[in-house]
Amino acid sequence: DAGVIQSPRHEVTEMGQEVTLRCKPISGHNSLFWYRQTMMRGLELLIYFNNNVPIDDSGMPEDRFSAKMPNASFSTLKIQPSEPRDSAVYFCASSLVRGGYLDTQYFGPGTRLTVL
Amino acid sequence: TQLLEQSPQFLSIQEGENLTVYCNSSSVFSSLQWYRQEPGEGPVLLVTVVTGGEVKKLKRLTFQFGDARKDSSLHITAAQPGDTGLYLCAGPMYSGGGADGLTFGKGTHLIIQP
């Protein structure tokens, strides 16, 4: 079974441009998470969805960031306009949440974003 | 949001040595997880500890959850170059579990030299 798929794997863009990151979770999983990793701040949760519904977006840094999950097999994270400080590795993870305890999250390989 | 602090931040040792890395918080966690991340890849779950005082073993890796559920440790016996990586501890963002985002420590960068 394929794991979490993210695209693109690398993105280099110029400040002010729109960036869209894509994620396909593991089939059958009902929760999807977007994280950002930097050397300074480590791995931070941005937003997560349960059954395609956003549950908590308090980690989204600014209004420039938005995320959608139109169906159970696809999610996007959009940055518009992008800024150099957005440069980081963005991870998508999915999980089958059965309730009551911490379930395993399966991470994709990440998208390395560089904003010049 | 509950915070997790990991130590040491960096550790470089020789093959065959033993080591312990730590994950501490001032908050109580319902459970904690340990992940290992290799360069260019996402974190991979190693273990979940749920009960205070719990000890779990995974080959040469021993994980312990503190009695008060505020801390955890990872002990590696006879480290091998394949153990090299970033070790992250994580807990549920809020006091609950289930459909909860994770809060991560900043990790311990471990290098095992042949």
Residue A63's region, left for phi above 0, alpha for psi from -120 to 50, else beta, is: alpha
With a cut of 70, say whether residue B1 has pLDDT above it. Answer: no
Q: Exposure string (b/e) for A92-113, b if CB count within 10 Å is 16 or more?
A: bbbbebeeeebbebbbbbbbbb
Tokens 């995320």 -> residue: A67
Closest residue in chain A to residue B106, using alpha carbons only:
A42
Mean pLDDT for B2-14 is: 94
Asked whether residue B99 carries a pLDDT value surpassing 60, the answer given is no
Query: What was the pLDDT predicted at A78?
Result: 98
Query: Buried b / exposed e across A67-80, counting CB within 10 Å, b at 16+?
Result: bebeebbebebebe
Spatial CA neighbour of A103 closest among B98, B69, B101: B98
Residue range A9-28: mean pLDDT, rounded: 97
| pLDDT, position B23 | 98
Residue A28 has pLDDT above 60, yes or no: yes
Structure confidence at residue B100 (pLDDT): 72
What's the confidence (pLDDT) of residue A101?
A: 63
> Which pLDDT score is estimated for B97?
47
Structure tokens belonging to residue A62 = 């600014």
For residue A85 the two structure tokens come to 């400080």
Q: Do B44 and A42 touch (CB under 8 A)?
A: no
Strand locations in A1-116, DSSP E? 5-7, 10-13, 19-24, 31-38, 42-50, 53-56, 65-71, 74-79, 88-95, 106-107, 111-115
Q: Is B88 near chain A, with CB under 8 Å? A: yes
- Tell me the pLDDT band of B54, cut-offs 50, 70 and 90: very high
* Closest residue on chain B to A100 (Cα): B98
| Cβ pair B30:A44 closer than 8 A | no
Tokens of A53: 């519904």
A97, A103 in Cβ contact below 8 A? yes
Is the pLDDT higher at B96 or at A95?
A95
Positive or negative CA dihedral for A75, A81, A85, A87? positive
pLDDT at residue A114 tops 80: yes
Q: Do B42 and A31 touch (CB under 8 A)?
A: no
- Residue B45 phi, psi (nearest 5): -65, 135
Q: A1 versus B81: which is more confidently predicted?
A: B81
Cβ atoms of A108 and A41 within 8 Å: the answer is: no
CB atoms B99 and A91 under 8 Å: no
Over 90: is that where the pLDDT of A102 sits?
A: no
Selecting from B88, B100, B106 the residue whose C-beta is nearest the C-beta of A102 gives B100
